[in-house]
Structure 1
Amino acid sequence: MSTILGAEAFQQMQAADPAQMLGLVSAAARRARQHWDYGLAHPLPIERLADIQQVLICGMGGSGSTGDLLVSLCSDSHLPLRVNKSGQLPAWVDRHTLVIGVSYSGNTAETLACLTQAQQQGALLHLLSAGGEVADFAAAHQLSRVPLDGGLPPRSALFDMFFALLGSLQKLRALHLPATADTLGALSQLDQLSAAWTARPDEKAPAPLQLARQLVGLQPIIWGVSQESEWVALRWKNQLAENAKTLALWSVLPELNHNEMVAICAAHHSRQALIYLNLETATPVADSIALALAADHLAAVEQLSAAGSTRLERLLYLTYFGDFMSVYLALLQGIDPTPIEAIEQFKARLAQAQA
């Protein structure tokens, strides 16, 4: 297969993308910088900062991924940092807990329920939304809120939400967030990746498109590494589901060596392809052995190592690669990546059931 993207193939991809999801992904780097500034302009209030002993981020879908990315980043945090993806708040939330509510639309039912419970349990609240009921809740209770630019599918606004949150939390030193210079370096890297990974006719296909070509007709199995690329693997699975309408599997090393490996090695899986996401440049010996075992039983095994000089840059590299790749996989198959009809049907039926 030629590595050059011909003009006809490019036009076919464009025709499958009437809402321009690829353009939204490409523009994510520019929007990230804008939302970093939004976060700096709307910081977490310094009152009660000394009282904070733990942090809980509440959000669903793409909004919840904001918390996952922050947890993945803050491996050296001196504060317990968790993500809650439900409408029920843990009982341990109290006045020493910072509850961060993230809802891109501002109308996520589960997140709104958690905010009400958090107030009842005496927690400190900090909110992010593009408006909606979350904005009304913040105004009614005089809570801090970082405003977001709206109008996007939440899954394509991950970097908007993440950098807005990152900017707003700069005073919370115990999280051990990246230095400002490192954050700005990561934003510059996103600009470079956006330019490099946006396909153009009659040019070499960018790396995410090349991987997508290899996955056409195959079921992806995404492997992450515990406390490293674990969440990124989940993000890839979710992006493949929403953008490419592809059911992918995901697992985490080294745990999968103690269970899933048995099923992989029990037969030849001719329609499954494995993608191993490595946050570091070197592959641990145990992971190399696992990959070699799996390679004998799968249609393909691909390894993707992150590029970047900081943990933030490497996390963003793998995340952004998956965002591009999932859209390209949709377009290569003539699938519009934007509609999410099943989610809309679920929400409509739930609303009817609760009426």
Structure 2
Amino acid sequence: MRQRAGLRLLLGQRLNNLISLTRLMEFEDLVQRYDKSRMVDLILSSPLEFEEYFEKYGEVSLPPSVAGVRMPGEWKSIVVLGMGGSAIVGDILRSYLLDRVDVPVEVVRDMRIPAHVGEGALLIAVSYSGNTMETLKAAMEGVRRGAYLVAVTSGGMLGQLAAKVGAAIYELPSGRPSRTALPPMLAAILRIVEAAGLAEPVNAREAAAKAREVVEEIRGDPLGSRPARIAAELDGKVPLVYSYQPYSPLGLRLKTQINENAKYHAFYAELPEADHNEVMGWEGGLAAPYHAVFVRGSKEPEELTVIIDYWREILGERGVRASELRSSGGGRLSEYLELMVLVDFTSYVLALMRGVDPTPVVTISRMKKVLEDRLHVSVHLRREMEELLSRH
């Protein structure tokens, strides 16, 4: 009996190994067919890249003054400027510091900045290309008002502006889609608030440990992984993503990564706010086939557990399935890094399943060209920058 049981166990293990190997070969075939620039390598190296750039950015220091404005002895606010993938890092910083600092953290996704931004503000401009119109205009306005500028960029006009006014530049790796640069962006922004005396130092290797484990699980069986199973559920459905603080940025990240990588509509709402409006949509007729994804932390207030259980009940009554991506602990930063891998790989596999290359963003590029052709944006930005620099 024992020999038979052992034989069945051995055969079961061999069958599972064969299934995993088959799925691995199928995955590699999909990658070769659709992922021409191998975005997968960037996604799965994100924990190591975070560690690498966190160490590298430790060598960058904040200068005593920028554009003639001395570094404040006491900060009034932290303001992160950015658009798209370069703004998500600001959301992560705001959530990371949510209950840890008494200085307000604001994320500006616009070419204008709030009236309160000026002297005493730590103004962190994040633009992967360095040529993002909204971020550049906001950064120049901040410098005019006496804010202390720091740049996170791979170059472009933002890099030129920062160099001219003597601001610190946290240089990002070039030659890749901006949304894949979140790990070095996060490393940079954490080093900035640390150097400004606004946050305690972190242990990057320790923080990235859980994410490294997730990467190894994915490498072993990419199409059998949690993200791939959720991607399969999402294919052909309208993804509805829900999360809550301090994990909200990763919920939004899933939505935007599905948009950009899979070229697919997805929608996001934050809990508990959605309890007071979006939940009523389930009383009406279903406008489309939906699938919900809850992005959760390892621990959450009891109220949120009850709320999510209720949402699952309501969804089930309407025949809508729900999945979840949940971190496994290790501290807030550790959970962010783990969820980044899970979220990004989910969107990536969905792209492969839909037969699209995750890298190009043709419609975004086309919009930028329309702005340039009709408004000569780069010419006006350069002129505005020259006028600003002539005063400093």
* Pair in the same fold by TM > 0.5: yes
| Long gaps (5+) in structure 1 | none
Q: Which secondary structure does the structure 1 equivalent of 2:352 belong to?
A: helix
Matches within 5 A, 1:159-198: 159-174=183-198, 176-177=199-200, 179-181=201-203, 183-198=204-219
Aligned partner of 1:230 in structure 2 is: 248
State yes or no: 1:324 paired with 2:345. yes
Structure 1 counterpart of 2:166: 142
Quote the residue 1:303 is aligned against: 324
Gaps of 5+ in 2: 1-15, 65-69, 377-392
1:146-190 CA distances to partner (integer Å, 9 max, x unpaired)? 11211110101111111122123313333x44x433x33112333
Q: 1:333 to 1:43 in 2, by over 3 A?
A: same
Tell me if 1:209 matches 2:228.
yes
| Change in 2 beyond 3 A, CA 1:21/1:199 | farther
CA contact (8 A) 1:271 1:298 kept: no
Per mean C-alpha deviation after superposition, the further-off stretch among 39-48 and 324-333 is 39-48
Distance 2:305 2:257 in 1: 27
CA–CA separation in structure 1 for the residues paired with 2:264 and 2:242: 16
Distance 2:41 2:142 in 1: 37
Mapped contact 1:49–1:172 kept (Cα < 8 A): no
Q: Select 1:112's aligned residue among 136, 140, 150.
A: 136
Q: Larger C-alpha radius of gyration, 1 or 2?
A: 2
Between 1:289-298 and 1:68-77, the stretch displaced more is 289-298
- Report Cα offsets for 1:178-224 as digits up to 9, x if no partner: x433x331123333322222365xx7722211211121111110011
Q: How does 1:67-106 map to 2 (within 5 A)?
A: 67-75=90-98, 76-106=100-130
Runs ≥4 in structure 1, deviation > 6 angstroms?
Answer: none
Deviations 1:55-95 (A, max 9, x none): 10001111111111111111222210110011111111111
Contact 1:38 1:147 in 2 (8 A): no
| TM-score for both structures, normalised by structure 1 | 0.92
Which of 73, 76, 91 is residue 50 of structure 1 equivalent to? 73
Distance in 2 of aligned mates of 1:18 and 1:94 = 45
Amino acid in structure 2 at the alignment position of 1:180: V
Q: Closer, same or farther in 2 for the Cα pair 1:278/1:140, shift >3 Å?
A: same
The 3-state SS of whatever aligns with 1:234 is helix
Shift of 1:126: 1.0
Which stretch of the first structure deviates more once superposed, 308-317 or 259-268?
259-268
Asked if 1:7 is matched to 2:47, the reply is no
Contact 2:172 2:181 in 1 (8 A): no
Tell me: CA distance 1:9–1:155, structure 2 relative to 1, closer, same or farther (3 Å): closer
SS in 1 for 2:359: coil
Contact (CA 8 Å) 2:95, 2:249: kept in 1 or not? yes
Relative to the length of structure 2, the TM-score reads 0.83
Structure 2 counterpart SS, 1:307: coil
- Specify the code of the residue in structure 1 equivalent to 2:48: R
1:158 maps to amino acid: L
| Separation (CA, whole Å) in 2 of partners of 1:138 and 1:270 | 47
Q: 1:353/1:268 Cα in 2 relative to 1: closer, same or farther (>3 Å)?
A: closer
Aligned to 1:266: 284
**SS of the counterpart of 1:198?**
helix
Size of the aligned set, in residue pairs, is: 348
1:26 — aligned with what?
44
Q: Which residue of 2 aligns with 1:127?
A: 151
Identity %: 26
Amino acid at match of 1:121: R
Structure 1 counterpart of 2:231, which letter?
A
Could you tell me which amino acid in structure 1 is paired with residue 135 of structure 2?
T
1:321 to 1:129, Cα distance in 2 relative to 1, 3 A: same
The structure 2 residue matched to 1:252, chosen from 252, 258, 270, is 270
Calculate the aligned-residue CA RMSD, in Å.
2.0
8 Å CA contact retained: 1:13, 1:332: no
* SS of residue paired to 1:331: helix
